[in-house]
A and B are shown apart, each in its own frame.
Chain A
Amino acid sequence: MSNLGDHVTKIRSKNAGPFWVTIDIFCGSAETYAWCCGILDTNAVAALYQTPAKDVLRFDIAALNVIKFSFPRPTIQGALQDRDMHGAAWATLLETLEVERS
């Protein structure tokens, strides 16, 4: 097993306004992009972020070899329970996701 972050160029997460977060997976090549599109299940990503799958927007962007996920922040930015003001650390959950690549 390896981590998703070992195979792609970069994964970043950031607020898209105070009420949404967006995560970009830069795959780096068409081959890795095709592999990522195959193994990344939207339901599994939603579960990783404990968010309802119906709220997760997914964009597979072949021209950039990028997969993008956007969903409402589980807590509004800066609210009492918020732990990550910029939504910057949520990318690490996908980076450390265990994957198998033959």
Chain B
Amino acid sequence: MTRVLVPAGALGLGFDQDALDRGVAMKPDIIAIDGGSTDSGPAYLGRGVSKYSTASTKAEWAKLIDAQQKAHCPLVIGTAGTCGANSTVDWLFEITCEILAERNATAKIVRLYSQQPADRIITALDNGTLTPLAGAPHIDATVIGACSNIVALAGAEQIQAALAVHPDIIIAGRTTDTAIISALPLLNGDNAGAAWHGAKIAECGALCSTHPMSGVVMVDFDTTGFTIEPLSTGAICTPETVSAHMLYENTDPFCLYEPGGYLDVTGAKYIQHTDTAVRVEGSVWTRTDPYTVKLEGARCAGFQTVSIATLRDRRYVENSTAWCADIISRLRHDIAQRTKLNDGEYHIELRQIGRDSTLGALETDHTTPAEVGIMGIITTQTQAQSTEIAKMLNPYLLHHPLTPDEPMPTFAFPFSPPEMERGPIYEFCLNHIMAIQDPMSCFEMVVTHV
């Protein structure tokens, strides 16, 4: 039997401290939490930085280190610092050292690095060991070489390698959400289908319960299945809340691909075990050969400057689409006349907030809003050029009339200057799996006594 305490769906989302204390008192074998996701976009991987503030991360991580010291079991975080690049593993390592120093405490820490050198991926492409997944963009050596960061998603095997050195804390780079939870039950010989299924259900903490924001859940794994229970007062797991979690952020609610195999939950049975806990049996894990890891990569897609103006005049709101089209046409003409940029070297868009800025061409509601926010988005290969074009856009956003023979209009600007420099922007460019001989062949471990 293996008891895994999951404090929350991710470090930075908060958790119920009383429930965590209750979990520690139940003597878990490991405390496991996820530290990231691709969910907030490519910029974090592109830049190699965390989405959450250092101060908030430190405050929550310190509480988990305190829990680890009381429970005397390993504490593992996967995908440290949102993207799991080497830089964010080291960022969390430094925070960990600060916390331990403040407490006059010591710990054996494993850092598991998931970052991949571009050369390795280019070689894999040449050797035919890289396979595109559905919806993958076209790649070549140039695209791979342009990635600022590439990571491989570690699975259970790599976390097990880290556990083998008997650490107090594992700070892992990019890892699948589930592997940090499934690794120890698999190592202990618990049922493999249950290990992965229980891990998937618990990976978002209490999202699989009636109190999704309360964070803390406990999962007991054994040789036939798993039992999951939320630890916050009032929170309940039911067969429906648990099985429904297989829907979440999953393309296929019955099948989950992981490094080294896939989980099939078609035959899983969910039973109310106690008033608050659910028992699950019948899920099946199938090994696949060769062993593969999924890759993520992000590259710079230019530099962006954004300007915002708002239209409140009824006539302009009603005709905002034509107004925007006219401005774009005039701005393109100005760029051709006054700069050396060719058409393909810049991207300009006026997105209409209040009309269709969320859904674009898919929008079905065409009622006239009270006001429309005009968000000018300029992208070129340099920040200076993008801001230069945004400044050329400025007079139009301020005064452009719908017709030539009307008094000069003026529109609302929320900021001075209206141009906001967004810096480099990034795009995801890998959705591939890479076959490797040994699970540890493209991951590195560093063990430190702090």
Report the separation of the CA atoms of residues A50 and B221 in the bound assembly, to the nearest whole angstrom: 44
Report the separation of the CA atoms of residues A19 and B137 in the bound assembly, to the nearest whole angstrom: 9
By the criterion CB–CB under 8 Å, are A78 and B426 in contact?
A: yes
Report the separation of the CA atoms of residues A15 and B431 in the bound assembly, to the nearest whole angstrom: 14
Q: Does A16 contact B (CB under 8 A)?
A: yes
Q: Does B357 contact A (CB under 8 A)?
A: yes
By the criterion CB–CB under 8 Å, are A22 and B249 in contact?
A: yes
Report the separation of the CA atoms of residues A77 and B425 in the bound assembly, to the nearest whole angstrom: 12
Within 8 A of B (CB), among A48-69: 48-50, 57, 59, 61, 63-64, 66, 68
Q: Which residue of A lies closest to B46 (CB)?
A: A78
Q: Please classify how large the interface on chain A is, using the bins under 10, 10 to 19, 20 to 34, 35 or more.
A: 35 or more
By the criterion CB–CB under 8 Å, are B248 and A14 in contact?
A: yes
**Segment from B37-45, B84-92, B114-122 that makes contact with A:** B37-45
Report the separation of the CA atoms of residues A18 and B260 in the bound assembly, to the nearest whole angstrom: 22
By the criterion CB–CB under 8 Å, are B247 and A85 in contact?
A: no
With a cutoff of 8 Å between Cβ atoms, the chain B residues found around residue A24 in the complex are 247
With a cutoff of 8 Å between Cβ atoms, the chain B residues found around residue A77 in the complex are 38, 41-42, 428
Q: Does B351 contact A (CB under 8 A)?
A: yes
Q: Does B55 contact A (CB under 8 A)?
A: no
Q: How many A-B residue pairs have CB under 8 A?
A: 102
Q: Does B405 contact A (CB under 8 A)?
A: no
With a cutoff of 8 Å between Cβ atoms, the chain A residues found around residue B427 in the complex are 76, 78-80
Secondary structure call for the B interface? loop
Least CB distance, B16 to chain A, in whole angstroms? 24
Least CB distance, B444 to chain A, in whole angstroms? 25
Q: Please classify how large the interface on chain B is, using the bins under 10, 10 to 19, 20 to 34, 35 or more.
A: 35 or more
Least CB distance, A31 to chain B, in whole angstroms? 16
Report the separation of the CA atoms of residues A80 and B299 in the bound assembly, to the nearest whole angstrom: 13
Within 8 A of A (CB), among B220-255: 240, 243-244, 247-254
Q: Does B289 contact A (CB under 8 A)?
A: no
With a cutoff of 8 Å between Cβ atoms, the chain A residues found around residue B248 in the complex are 14
- Chain B 206-225 near chain A by CB (<8 Å), digits 1 or 0: 00000000000000000000
By the criterion CB–CB under 8 Å, are B252 and A76 in contact?
A: no
CB-CB under 8 A for A64 and B244, given A76-B427, A83-B358, A85-B41: yes
Most A CB atoms within 10 A — which of B137, B251, B351, B425? B251
Q: Does A30 contact B (CB under 8 A)?
A: no
By the criterion CB–CB under 8 Å, are A73 and B249 in contact?
A: no
Query: Could you list 5 A-B pairs, sorted by A, with CB under 8 Å?
Result: A76-B137, A76-B428, A78-B426, A80-B379, A90-B362
